[in-house]
Amino acid sequence: MKEALLTTQMTKQDAAMLGALELAYVGDCVFELLVRTHLLRTSGRKVKELHGLVVKHVCAAGQAALANRILDQLTDDELAVFKRGRNHRHPRIPKGSSPAEYGLATAFEALMGYLYLCGETERILALTESAFEA
């Protein structure tokens, strides 16, 4: 059982068969863990203060902004996953987000989930590097 938890890699075909929301569900966790870990290592702040910093990155606006910055760096396969996430229609959009912004955030999360499930952690780090630039 322990090995199954640590062995997340799927084939690209299997990962691509998952729905956009399933990929986004995993990708949201992956990106939040990446942000939390980075800020914990680099900010020198207490947990209470870290939460506010994390929220700026993992909210729809933060993810949409990052999605716009990485869009021209995506491969054809990544772009296909991204577009599936972006084009998914949400019945409810959270307050403070536009449908377009929420779509970009979902697209970003779907891409993160896809890359994680494919074992492409280095690619995740390369694409999200700009999230932490000053």
Residues designated as active site:
28
3-state secondary structure 8-70: CCCCHHHHHHCCHHHHHHHHHHHHHHHHHHHHHHHCCCCHHHHHHHHHHHHCHHHHHHHHHHH
What angle in degrees, to the nearest 10, is found between the helix axes of 121-128 and 99-117?
150
